Amino acid sequence: MAEAILTEVKKLVEPILSERKLILEDLEYVKEGKDNFLRIYIDKVGGVDLTECSIVSERLSEKLDEQDPIEGTYFLEVSSPGAEKPLKTPEDFKANIDQNIYVSLYVHIDGEKEYEGILKDFSNNVATIDYKFKHRIKQVQIPYDKIAQARLAVML
């Protein structure tokens, strides 16, 4: 059921985003406690601000009221994926070369299940990351299918 809802919402939100030159980063329809949430994550080069999120929220809310693809009550949230946005697809990795990322793995690679470092390359479904080990820079190659989660990581 959630997939059907997300498919319909995507059809409604994409023209709004296209007109405003925004990117749909992610959609989710989830139940948390007693409440349902429809979350839309948007972005653009240089990032989005609260005004942009508000405009998209208002316009999408009107479309959702007209089409009514979701039974019952829910909360609509439109936001930026944030500074530590998730990397969910190979395209996300390719778009974030030379960025600091964090990955957790399904299996150990070189004795570790977590890495944080600079994404140097993503080709043939393998992420190459330069990371600090003690006082040296080391490199690890991680097959995409071994990555449980990945996100951009803010460097402190």
84 in a domain, yes or no?
no
- Beta pairing, strands 112-123 & 126-133: antiparallel
Same domain, yes or no, for 23 and 65?
A: yes
Predicted local confidence at residue 46, as pLDDT: 79
Using CA atoms of 52, 57, 63, 65 in order, give the dihedral in degrees to the nearest 10. -160
Q: Domain range for residue 43? A: 2-79
Residue among 80, 123, 85 nearest 101 (CA) = 85
- Beta pairing, strands 136-143 & 23-32: unpaired
CA 112 to mean position of chain CA atoms: 24
Same domain, yes or no, for 62 and 115?
A: no
Same domain, yes or no, for 33 and 101?
A: no
What whole-number distance in Å separates Cα of residue 148 and Cα of residue 63?
Answer: 35
Kindly tell me the number of DSSP H helices and DSSP E strands found in the chain: 3, 8
pLDDT tens digit sequence for 111-145 = 999 999 999 999 999 999 999 999 999 999 999 99
Predicted local confidence at residue 85, as pLDDT: 87
pLDDT tens digit sequence for 4-50 = 899 999 999 999 999 999 999 889 999 999 999 999 999 987 788 99
Provide the pLDDT confidence category of residue 84 given band limits of 50, 70 and 90.
confident
Q: What is the pTM of this model?
A: 0.70
- Cross-strand pairs, 119: 129
137 in a domain, yes or no?
yes
What whole-number distance in Å separates Cα of residue 64 and Cα of residue 76?
Answer: 10
User: Residue 109: which CATH number?
Assistant: 2.30.30.180
Same domain, yes or no, for 68 and 98?
A: no
Domain boundary among 48, 79, 110: 79
